[in-house]
Amino acid sequence: MKNGKEYKYILLDLDGTLTDSMEGITKSIRYALKHFDIEVRNLNDLRKFVGPPLKESFMHFYHFTEAQAEEGIRKYRERFADKGIYENTVYEGVETLLQQLNEAGKQVMLATGKPTYYAEKILNYFHLDAYFKFVGGSGLDGSLSHKDEVIRHVLESNNIRDLNRVVMIGDRENDITGAKRTGIDSIGVLYGYGDREELTSAGADRIVTSVEELSRVLL
């Protein structure tokens, strides 16, 4: 780490950090909204759904009740499980970064708000699973739906107590605030779905613009 701090435990977000999953997620959100007779023509209007918990997003952006939001998630998964999960690409340079982190002796772990079930399928599909010591995500039942809960789960499951050597890397506000709530550093990435203002306001310790810059920071 070029700021004098060397991280051993690298916690990575998935959507917007490792993979560009916007197409699959937004098309599945549109499918779910159609069930409620809500038509969305421009998928960019649903970009805000990528990252934060789905239930909260349905309730916040479309004023769904809790019951409606849960039904929305069920409809979302109808499409996502078969199609949306594969409408996804790995960002250029990500696999090389993961390989280099492993070779450098770093412990690489996933900390995503996406259900662990889907996260593991995505890593396996792109042959990235071997690079990860641990995969932490939410539960299909809605448990661990907030990023700080996921991070704590990752830390506790791996008996990590030296928080000074842990960093969370992600592209949205919830990645940064989740890190702050658990007492670890954070790096925001600008090649995902958040912008500099969002990441700065959330309190990111550092912001990078590319996978290459992230590599220089971590290695």
Active site residues: 13
Helices (H), the chain: 22-35, 54-61, 66-80, 94-103, 116-125, 147-157, 173-182, 196-202, 211-218
**Cα gap 121→74, rounded to integer Å:** 18
Q: Give the span between the Cα atoms of 154 and 176, in whole angstroms.
A: 16
Q: Are 132 and 11 in contact (CB under 8 A)?
A: no
Burial environment of residue 205 by CB neighbours within 10 A (0 to 12, 13 to 18, 19 or more) = middle
Rg (CA), the chain: 17
144 dihedral zone (left: phi>0; alpha: psi -120 to 50; beta): left
User: Hunting for tokens 């159609």 — which residue is that?
Assistant: 34
Which stretches does DSSP call E strand in the chain?
9-12, 19-20, 89-90, 107-115, 134-138, 166-170, 185-189, 206-208
